[in-house]
Structure formats: structure tokens, C-alpha cells
Chain A
Amino acid sequence: MHLKYESFVREPLVNGEKTYHQVTEEIVRPIEQKPGRMWYVGFFFSVALLMLGVFSVTWEVYYGIGVWGINRTVGWGWDITNFVWWVGIGHAGTLISAILLLFRQGWRTGVNRAAEAMTIFAVMCAGQFPVFHMGRVWDAGFIFPLPNSRGPLWPNFNSALLWDVFAISTYFTVSLLFWYSGLIPDFATVRDRAKTKLRKRLYGIASFGWTGSAKNWQRHEALSLVLAGLSTPLVLSVHTIVSFDFATSVIPGWHATIFPPYFVAGAIFSGFAMVQTLLIVCRRIVGLEDYITVGHIEAMNKVIVLTGSIVGVAYLTELFMSWYSQVIYEQDAFKWRIMGPYWWSYWAMMTCNVVSPQLFWFKKLRRNIPFTFIMSIVVNIGMWFERFVIIVTSLYRDYLPSSWTYYSPTWPEVGFYLGTFGLFFTCFFLFAKYFPVIAIAEIKFILKTSGESFKHKMDVIHEKPTEQFVHEQAEAHH
């Protein structure tokens, strides 16, 4: 009986009556065709932004960190704001690929490849900011505990900033391995149907010589499961450690035990918004509406409304705790956040993150694609402001009123931020052209249980009276 009703209520994950071959054809098609005009326009725009970023960073490295707007009071400005923002965006990819795999959520197969790619590119963007914030980037290697000629002198393993170095580099490496191990069989698919010699050669190298042997698949599944099991605590640890950068200090507004869960929820919130932004455009341009369905979009909107509400509760808890603590520094930090010179950033954060996602309680809006697209951008603006509020509005009025200041970015900071968009989208456009955007083997794996044609077979079962169904099931197993 259980079997009868479970399949009926779930909508298909792949629309259209598809065969295995059709799945291959449709997902590999963008790789084998010349890209359309939209792709070229987008790609060259991204490269232009990337060039602007390179110019801004070169300027900063040449003239020194003084060309940025940061000062002695506000030591962390747009750079660390952007760092936390990009790292947070990355979290959705790992959540989809790892946590949803452990929870056996079938819908992840349609979006996991692109979301994981997003994770990797977002972490690449994030990493730029702390590195160039060092000023003397040529000494960046000293953050790693490498033997050196000064003693050797080691980094401080008790520092949250050093934990971050380990967390981000581990996160990047593990995400890359997880993503690539899933890509190997799909590259083999592209290789075996390649018409041109060059494509056959390059995808031959990229596929590591994969043939799809039964034993190899068995190991592949074991590997995916263990990597998912490792990535799940890893992704939670990464943003926890990012929040330690703030929470382990004694700055009012930062010194809070709520930070780790609050940051992790915020990261998943912004990450899912970015997945929506990318995939709503991508499914259209690449023509994969049958695989990234409205059902997928709705599922992600549910995650957005959940995590958005957690973030909202965290904001209110922060306010309560500052009042309840009866510490004037804590109270003033929050009073100035709400009513000080940066009031607009606080209210932008509140509106975008707490109020607007509540609209997703309505099913009609969750399934509305243009609305979701706009919301995904609103959420990411809100989450950027959250980091700006946490960082800048905790720093600009410190314990010494004579050092109070107002911080605004200069053009190299803005250019650097825009440049990381360039890096992100350049990578994503190349990914959309040369990589299977959807995990082909995984879609085939769920096709028989979640594809539309197989759902139709379930309709027949649904028509049957329950008594008859149970009887037939019992008979079938004898």
C-alpha cells in the first residue's frame, strides 16, 4: 500500500517521455553545437568584467592597500564582505550534492552538477579577497605552515583566521574532487559519441579512460557516498569557521555564540538564491526545461523560505541578546545599526532577507519563474548587505569615539568586486559550453522511477482498488 501511494503524489523529475538515448542527446547537445549569440554576448561581457577586476587588483597591488577606502577603524570593508558573501554562495552546491544525497532526495540530480560548479567558482572568487587584502600578496605563502628560514616560525594555530585558511582550501579541494569524480562517466559519454577528432581526444583525456565497467561503477558509488558523508560536516564547518573569524573576537556585534548556525543558514539561503539565478537563465538558454523543472525550482524555493526564516530569527535573537546582556557597548552597536549613519544597510538587509522571502509561503509564487528570478536577486542583495552590516557597522564606531569614522569604498574595491563577477561568470559560461550541465548518468539512474513515462505506469496502479493491488503484490513475491 505504501508503494502505491508514494509514487502518485510526487511529480516527475524529468518531463516528457524520454529514453536513455534521448537524455544523452539533449544534455550533450550544447557541447556539440556552436553556442548561440546569447552565449557570446554573455561570455565577452564576463571577460570584460574580469579584465576590470584584474586592472583594479593590479592597481591595488602596485600602489598598496591605501588605495582602498578602509582605514584604521574599519580594517575590513568590502573585501571581507565580498569574501563571506562568495563563500556563502558556494554552500548551496555542497548542500545539494552532499546533504541531499544522504537524504535521498531524487530532485538533486537535475541541479547538482551546475550547483557544484557554482560552488567551485564561488570559492575561487572568495579566495581572492583575503589574499589581496594582505597587501603584500607576494608573502601570501606564509599563511601555510611551511618550513621557512626564520626559525622556522609557524603560523598561529589558535587563530580563527588560520582555521579559515585550512577550511577554505579543504573545501575547495574536496568540492573539486567530488564534482570531477561525478564528471568522469559523463565525459566518457561525450567522448564515445564525439564526431570530431579533437573532441574525442580531449574528452578522452578528461574522462580518464572510463568505460563504465560494473566494478568501476560499484566503486564510484561507494566513493560518491563517502565523499557526500565527508562534505556534509565539511560544508557546515566551513561557514562555522568563517563565523569564528568574527565570533572569537571581542568586538560588540561580533562576539556572539549564535554566529555559527546563523552563518550556515544564511550561506545556504544565499547559495540557493544564486542557484536559482543561474539555473533559471541556464535552463532557458541551453534548453533543459525538461530536466530543471518547475518542481525543482519550487523545491529550492522551499529551502529559501526555510533558511530565510532561520536568518530572520537569528537577527531578532541578536537584538534581544544585545538588550538582555545589559552591556552598553552591545546595545549601542545594535542601536547604531538600526538608526545610525548606516541605517539604510540594516533596513535593506531586513527587507530583502526577512520580509520578502516570506512571500514564498504561497505555492503560486514558489512556482512562478519570473518572480523566483527577481527574488533570487533580491535575496543575494540582502545577503550582501547582511555581511556589510555585520562587518562595517560593528567596526565604524569602536570603543574610542575619537576614532569613529564613516567608510565608503573606492573604485579599486568596487572594480575588484565586479571583477570577481567576471571571473565567476566567465567560468560558468565555459562550464555551460564544454561540460555536461546536468549529470547524465544520474538522470538515467532515476529515469525509471521518476521520469514522466514511468509515472504514467503508476497511474494504472492508482486506478486499481487497494485490495486488488495488495493481493497482486503479495502474489508477485511468491
Chain B
Amino acid sequence: MAIKKFAVACYDDEEVLFPAVKKVRHSGYKLHDVYTPFPVHGLDAALGLKETDLHIAGFIYGITGTSTALGFMSWIFTSDWPLVFGGKPYLSLPAFIPITFELTVLFAAVGMVLTFCYLNQIMPGVKKHVFHPRQTDDLFVVAIELNEHVSETEVIDFLKSTGAVETNVQVAESEWWYGRFDKKEPYELA
């Protein structure tokens, strides 16, 4: 838990957002995060975010599934309980392909979704601060972290100059916590 002060700017179009993000990055202010109602292509590059490695995790989960299925079936049919089915060899690999494929997909999908939730820190019961109720509707929100070295009014004036339709200063929790969205947090009431 870390309660911080933020300068918040809302934009109503992604075409205004892009140059604004560029200016914020050049200004040297500490950019906390950008919130958009839908995935805006190119925003991750504009923010200088690295490409995600989620798909590599997916590949690793996938081959885990492959080896689990192949290993398990082979072990059962050759050593744990060998049985002859229709005169075929114990290790009838072609017959193992369907289940091997299914487990590959299953492991990759489940593993990736769990990793996705872990990396994004999302889970049922998790709460994060929402800077503007319309950031999941039609506003593109940029939050700048304030500290004692920068002047509040200066940052707000700067944000206004980038074409923001709404600006304000908020005191908010910067991380996630367990909470309910229908309840106000103590820092919001203060």
C-alpha cells in the first residue's frame, strides 16, 4: 500500500492522446499509467513499453502439457499396467496423439490465463483505484505521479496545454488491494 498524489488528465480522443503521451514522456514528469476503454494500437510503443512475453509462457505451458500427456500414457501402458488392445503394441504412439494435443492446448490456455491474471494483478475481489469512472467508457486517462519536486499547478497547466478535456489532482492508492467497488476507501473520504 502506497498512497500517492496524482495529476490526472482526461482526453476524449485517441488522436489527441498520442501527441499528449509523447509530450508527457518528453517533459520528464513521472508517468504513472495510461488508461483506455479499449486497446489502442501503438500506445504501448508510444509509452515505450516492452513487448509482452506472455506468449513465451504459453509455449512453455504447452510443451509441459505435451510431455505430461505423452509421459503419463506411455508409463501406464508400458510399465504400470501393460495391456494389449486389438493386438497393437503397448506403446501405440499414433493413438496417443489426440489426447496429447488436447492436453497441450489445455495446459497452454489455463497456464496463460493464470499468468495473465498474475501479471496484471487481477483477481475476483481485487480492487484498484479508478481515476475517472469513464476511463472504461469513452475517456483516455493519463495519470502523472506528483512529488515535492514538482509544482501541482505547473503540471496541471502543462496537461491542459496537451488538449485534455478534464484535469484534476487526486490522492490515491497506487497499487492493488482487496476491496469492494461499492465502498469508498478511507483516503477517498479524507
- Where the two chains meet, the residues of A that have a C-beta atom closer than 8 Å to any C-beta of B are 19-21, 24, 145, 151-154, 156-158, 160, 162-163, 166-167, 170, 173-174, 177-178, 181, 184-185, 188-189, 191-193, 197-198, 200-201, 203-206, 208-223, 225-227, 230-231, 233-234, 237, 241, 244, 440-442, 444-445
When the two chains form their complex, are residues B81 and A167 in contact, meaning their CB atoms are under 8 A apart? no
- Residues of B within 8 Å of A162, CB to CB, are 99
- Residues of B within 8 Å of A198, CB to CB, are 182
Task: Decide: A230 near B98, CB < 8 A? Known: A208-B124, A213-B35, A217-B39.
Answer: no
When the two chains form their complex, are residues A163 and B54 in contact, meaning their CB atoms are under 8 A apart? no
When the two chains form their complex, are residues B39 and A226 in contact, meaning their CB atoms are under 8 A apart? no
- Where the two chains meet, the residues of B that have a C-beta atom closer than 8 Å to any C-beta of A are 33-40, 43-44, 47, 49, 51-52, 54-55, 58, 72-73, 76-77, 80-81, 83, 85-86, 88, 92, 95-96, 98-99, 101-103, 105-106, 108-110, 112-113, 116-117, 119-130, 133-138, 176, 180-182
29 A-B contacts (beta carbon < 8 Å): A24-B37, A154-B80, A156-B83, A157-B77, A170-B102, A170-B105, A170-B106, A174-B105, A181-B113, A185-B136, A191-B136, A193-B137, A203-B181, A205-B125, A209-B121, A211-B135, A213-B34, A213-B35, A214-B33, A214-B36, A214-B49, A217-B38, A223-B116, A226-B58, A230-B58, A233-B101, A234-B105, A241-B98, A244-B98
Q: How far is the CA of A177 from the CA of B127 in the complex (A)?
A: 21
Q: How far is the CA of A189 from the CA of B182 in the complex (A)?
A: 14
B180 to chain A minimum Cβ distance, whole angstroms, is 5
When the two chains form their complex, are residues B126 and A227 in contact, meaning their CB atoms are under 8 A apart? no
When the two chains form their complex, are residues B138 and A226 in contact, meaning their CB atoms are under 8 A apart? no
Task: Decide: A174 near B122, CB < 8 A? Known: A158-B88, A191-B181, A226-B58.
Answer: no
- Residues of B within 8 Å of A234, CB to CB, are 102, 105
Complex partner residue of B136 from A170, A212, A214, CB under 8 angstroms: A212
**Given A174-B105, A214-B33, A237-B101; 19 other pairs, CB 8 A cutoff:** A19-B138, A20-B137, A151-B81, A152-B81, A154-B76, A167-B98, A170-B103, A191-B181, A192-B130, A204-B180, A204-B182, A208-B126, A209-B121, A210-B136, A212-B37, A219-B120, A222-B55, A237-B102, A445-B38
Q: How far is the CA of A208 from the CA of B54 in the complex (A)?
A: 19
A424 to chain B minimum Cβ distance, whole angstroms, is 24
When the two chains form their complex, are residues A441 and B37 in contact, meaning their CB atoms are under 8 A apart? yes
When the two chains form their complex, are residues A219 and B123 in contact, meaning their CB atoms are under 8 A apart? no
When the two chains form their complex, are residues A189 and B112 in contact, meaning their CB atoms are under 8 A apart? no
- Residues of A within 8 Å of B73, CB to CB, are 157
Q: Write the chain B residue with the least CB distance to A23.
A: B138
When the two chains form their complex, are residues A212 and B35 in contact, meaning their CB atoms are under 8 A apart? yes
Q: How far is the CA of A200 from the CA of B108 in the complex (A)?
A: 33
Complex partner residue of A184 from B85, B99, B122, B127, CB under 8 angstroms: B122
Complex partner residue of A189 from B37, B55, B101, B128, CB under 8 angstroms: B37
Complex partner residue of A157 from B39, B76, B110, B126, CB under 8 angstroms: B76
When the two chains form their complex, are residues A204 and B112 in contact, meaning their CB atoms are under 8 A apart? no
- Residues of B within 8 Å of A244, CB to CB, are 98
Complex partner residue of B40 from A184, A200, A210, A217, CB under 8 angstroms: A217
Task: Decide: A230 near B47, CB < 8 A? Known: A166-B98, A221-B39.
Answer: no
